Chains A and B, each alone.
Chain A
């Protein structure tokens, strides 16, 4: 509709008619394709800034009725994907770096939904019969691989994906889950992702995505979430990009009071760009600034200390006189969190609408800190970390340690069902087949005391791995007492052997164990904001209100496996050839030899040639030896000589072998080959000589 002025008059009239028609259809709601763009900025306690882009496209339910195969805003590729592979729900994320749960929080919608394991994670729920799910999954991985320029097709192999039953997602049976921890994330993955947006990165909030600055950050996660409700609710495509960036600032020297002052930042200093125009196709285009609960509490305390004004900064005037920080642009709206359980320290959200900014007056929000503020982010009840135990190439153990964050009391009542006196934890762990986990060795320690499994484990599903067919999957629902300080799970494993052609080129780096997923089923991360008009509810805020369990990912682990010396086949070939050469040499020798004939022949020859001197010499030699003179004494000497040479050569070969074992050196091995070539003529020499 943006091109309207360009059209000629008749067409204009037609279009006007169409416009009227379509505006009529707006009233019917959700029959229209919609697009909205939002950006959430949040200062983080450790001097960084979180930027969370959220783009949402909706396609109406019955496509056939309105446009047939055509779309105005919704990306066609995704619609086809949904139709062809019968995807009910799907999520694909590309992540670089690790989300720091301790410093950046683990109990809010952003961290719970957007903190993803490094590399690629893909899960999808299919709307097909159980026996066809695998086929659809494989096709989907190939399509996505092409769509996003990534090696998602490696998830096709049945050793890489798994089917969690209940711990990951409540859907049963038709869910498939796979990760590629080693996938490198780059702009070539971002570009196809941006192509799905109606304005790409030419207009709107996505113009902020300056490649060097968003890839320079401490965390970069690009996510695509797809829900298709079939005929009822159409397709909802959510695209988010979460980055944690460090505002460039002068490093405060030393431990003086200046060190604690947060660096001030602006959009242009963080991204290197400003927002000039909104994407005209977007229904809403907003920038939010979120202040967390901890920060708001600290600011309130500050305000009490220097009592200029009393209330919270809902008002723009108070905002300007706020002792903690200063904003360059006056927000259009300010929302406060609604929470029945917290009376004070509720998070605050400022909204800026992009509608009024243009090229001449670009939007550039600046946040200037005035006094040092220290706060912490809301934490999940337990902080999960995972590590490997043991050393050596034979066996080891995986340990998952859950440590109470100590902030649990604040949340005990928050979104928590009161009558439960236990803390429930879901653990979902996929282990590749070459890590042969012994599930019977699962041990649980609570507060340093070993526990019987039956006391702690509420529900458990284990599917052991099958060599070269499927990975091992463990789903656990654990129940801890509420005052648990620390809990540890250990699982022992043996390291398996791969076939030589299954090793990747960088086998010596080790092999990855994908992240475990830890979720807390009775803790929900939803945040409600008091909004004036519930009609134009922002999609991001409604996402915040979703009641979904708090989830966190553990670290990826690197297991060094026994890797063969890859020059070893070469050594084996060399020594085998040597053995063969020896065998055939002596076999030929034996077969060809007719001792009597040879001796007669030699004698005749010697007699014919009749050289006096050699005969005399040989006679003399025989005399010296004190033996009867024979006609051909030279042969034995020759052969013994050859043999000593041979033995020496063999010794050198074995010496070289040993050296090559100490190190894979190719020149040495090449020398071996030369030697081996040398050996063959030597072996055949006696037979030729005789």
Chain B
């Protein structure tokens, strides 16, 4: 009895410690379980999605009847007609159409002004990655001919205090006005003309007619930059004035009233509450009139869910439009997804037959659609590139979405066109009226979500689980590897609990800590190399007249070269191993450190851009966990080790970023027409939008891949 009393406290350390030890000792089982569960949770997300609801009570969407009448629509039709007739005439600068729009606006009593801007050359500025470069610098060497002109009309709310504004954006190319662009201008004009007469307006309305000849985003961004950070001094404004004079002021002043009202100065209207980009698709839809919503902004930022909810609610329940969000179409035809969907559906049926309260099954077709939408939602958030001009607003903390309305029938007939204008106008009017009701800014609903359909979403609390499950094995495995490296030399075998460690001599501890430092050094060097690799494109871009393929080649060569140099300077891991033979199992420590760094990197990335981290974890976690020297597997010659060998090789090959890119591209778009330069172009687009995904690829993913390859190639 006395002996057991003495033994008991020793044998029983704190439960939490015991739990940790338990998990670490069963890390293989644990990691397999967690990874599978993480993947399954990701696939189950469409089932877990909740229906959207209007969270902010003040919004009250659709509580008022639309006031837009055929009078405004016929006015809008007149604008559309005169724009299309202008487009048929041969002309030069496209200033006529802008003048026409400005005249229409000022006849409504709006304040109108033009804003002149120069397209910005998108360059990779490593030091300004997250901040804006100086707006003054890029302006200097621009010739007068290459400028765009935005037309801005502002309605002041009659009884409002002018502190807030709602922005309507219609991009169009004045050099060539497409039918869709003309219609989108028509829809917005009809709403705008209605809003000049209504008494309920509490926020000012800004109609921004964007000159999209240098891209929609650039023009919207230029206007927003002038709105938020104007430059008062400098050459830019002077240059603009001289150019402007030559173009505009020579024109005869035919309409005194209009001329007087169109002011040269930049007009403003308070803090922006929300922005809507309105487009009309040129192609016609097959089934019914539909509305596409684009919401992703830079770095996976989303507008408040309420904004999407309002549009969805009004479009579906008031205007009877079919609302679509983007999805990856090739996933819709996936057999295995369909099978999975059917399994889940039947599971749902079974559950319902057991207890009618359990309702988690959804039809298989819905499930597949949900997965396709979810995948595209994840992809566009992970890419970090805005899906439309609305992305420029998010950079200034303004909630914005792009609405693309497409019609079922061709709109050549006047009656049909009027009907289309009326429906589109009602929708926009409803959204403006709802946002106008907003007392505070959008804050009530979610900012972090994934959409599985226009009316279903997965909130952060749910989709985080999948990521957490995927990432959870990493620290466990790292710890178990570390423990293994400590206890490999003593013959104590599987016993890894603390008491036995305590008994090992001091010498062993210092030896392993030395090894540990060595592994950490290698990891550090490789990550340093990763930073160098991500900086290299800045210099490569300076080389003039290169095809993307050659640039990519130069980049690869320089990267390898720099890796070699870094190894030369800071000591190669291989030479070290050669020098001291007994450290055969160095790779264990190396893998352990790699995994911990990958874990830290993934967790950091999940804070910056969750979708990137999620997709990255899908690739990185198996790769890191599986990595084991190939020689070991070759030596042991069992089925298990052989399969591991194959897995390792396949993962190591697929996870190489360019290969991943090409494989994914091939799977979704077909393997025809893949060029090596595509990868370079893709990367270029990512860093031009200063997406954090680029940093992730360069500083977390690539080093991790290199380290895993190093583990695979370890000589032991």
Q: Which residues in A have some Cβ–Cβ distance to B below 8 Å?
A: 46-47, 96-98, 100, 118-119, 181-182, 216-218, 220, 251, 253-255, 259-260, 374, 376, 385, 387-393, 399, 403, 445, 448-450, 486, 488, 490, 506-510, 512, 555-558, 560, 563, 595-596, 599-600, 630, 636, 639-640, 642-644, 647, 651, 655-656, 658-660, 662-665, 668
Contacts and interface: CB of A to CB of B under 8 A. Distances in A.
A655 B465 contact: yes
Given A389-B228, A556-B163, A659 B268 contact: no
Contacts of A216: 199
A255 B99 CA distance: 14
Interface in B229-273: 229-230, 232-234, 237-238, 255-257, 260, 265, 268, 270-271
B544 interface: no
Contacts of B255: 255
Contact of A392 (B12, B265, B397): B397
Contacts of A392: 397
A674 B367 CA distance: 32
12 contacts: A217-B159, A390-B228, A391-B396, A448-B232, A508-B440, A509-B439, A556-B161, A640-B22, A643-B18, A643-B19, A655-B461, A662-B459
Interface in B182-236: 197, 199, 228-230, 232-234
B441 interface: yes
Interface stretch (B309-317, B344-352, B445-453, B706-714): B445-453
Contacts of A253: 75
B8 interface: yes
A444 to B, nearest CB: 9
B506 interface: no
B15 interface: yes
B163 A387 contact: no
Given A47-B109, A217-B159, A600-B1, 17 more contacts: A46-B109, A97-B159, A255-B107, A387-B268, A448-B234, A450-B232, A488-B232, A506-B440, A508-B441, A509-B441, A510-B271, A510-B440, A557-B163, A558-B164, A663-B445, A663-B448, A665-B55
B127 interface: no
- Most chain A CB atoms below 10 A, which of B161, B448, B449: B161
A154 B271 CA distance: 25
A170 B635 CA distance: 97
B271 A388 contact: yes
A668 B461 contact: yes
B78 A448 contact: no
Given A98-B156, A259-B107, A509-B441, A449 B459 contact: no
A558 B163 contact: yes
A403 B232 CA distance: 12
Interface in B151-182: 156, 158-164
B12 A636 contact: yes
Nearest to B230: A389
Contacts of B78: 254
Contacts of A119: 161
Between A376, A387, A445, the greatest number of chain B beta carbons within 10 A of the residue's beta carbon is seen for A387
Contacts of A448: 232-234, 237-238
Nearest to B8: A595
Contacts of A655: 461, 464-465, 468
A644 B19 contact: yes
Contact of B162 (A98, A220, A560): A98
Interface in B550-601: none
The 6 A-B pairs of least Cβ separation, nearest first, read A659-B461, A508-B440, A558-B163, A118-B161, A445-B232, A662-B448
Nearest to A218: B158
B460 interface: yes
Q: Of residues A217, A391, A399, A555, which shows the largest number of chain B Cβ atoms within 10 Å of its Cβ?
A: A391
A510 B441 contact: yes
Contact of B229 (A254, A390, A445, A512): A390
A431 to B, nearest CB: 16
A119 B160 CA distance: 11
B444 interface: yes
Nearest to A95: B161
Interface residues of B, number: 64
Contacts of B16: 643, 647
Nearest to A220: B159
A631 to B, nearest CB: 9
A27 to B, nearest CB: 49
B229 A389 contact: yes
Interface string B652-678: 000000000000000000000000000
A490 B232 contact: yes
Given A490-B232, A643-B15, A555 B162 contact: yes
Given A643-B15, A647-B19, A399 B230 contact: yes
Contacts of B396: 391
Contacts of B230: 389, 399
A447 to B, nearest CB: 9
Nearest to B304: A663
A603 B107 CA distance: 97
Given A595-B8, A636-B12, A658 B271 contact: no
A236 B506 CA distance: 97
B443 interface: yes
Interface in B1-44: 1, 4-5, 8-9, 12, 15-16, 18-19, 22
Contacts of B448: 662-663
A388 B164 CA distance: 12
B233 A449 contact: yes
Contacts of A182: 161
B19 A640 contact: yes
B103 interface: yes
Contacts of B444: 663-664
Contacts of A218: 158-159
A560 B441 contact: yes
Contacts of B71: 251
A488 B234 CA distance: 13
B447 A98 contact: no
Nearest to A644: B19
A399 B441 CA distance: 23
Of B75, B160, B164, B443, the most chain A CB neighbours within 10 A belong to B443
Contacts of B164: 558
A558 B270 contact: yes
Contacts of B440: 506-510
A255 B232 CA distance: 36
A556 B158 CA distance: 15
B329 to A, nearest CB: 29
Nearest to B2: A596
Nearest to A445: B232
Nearest to B263: A102
Contacts of A558: 163-164, 270-271
A502 B71 CA distance: 49
A118 B22 CA distance: 68
Contacts of B260: 374, 376
Nearest to A46: B109
A640 B271 contact: no
B116 to A, nearest CB: 15
A220 B161 CA distance: 12
Nearest to A244: B158
Nearest to B447: A662
B397 A391 contact: yes
Contacts of B107: 254-255, 259
Contacts of A642: 15
A497 to B, nearest CB: 17
Contacts of A449: 233
A508 B462 CA distance: 26
A389 B461 CA distance: 35
B5 to A, nearest CB: 5
A659 B460 contact: yes
Contacts of B1: 600
A662 B461 contact: yes
B34 to A, nearest CB: 12
B15 A640 contact: yes
Contacts of B449: 662
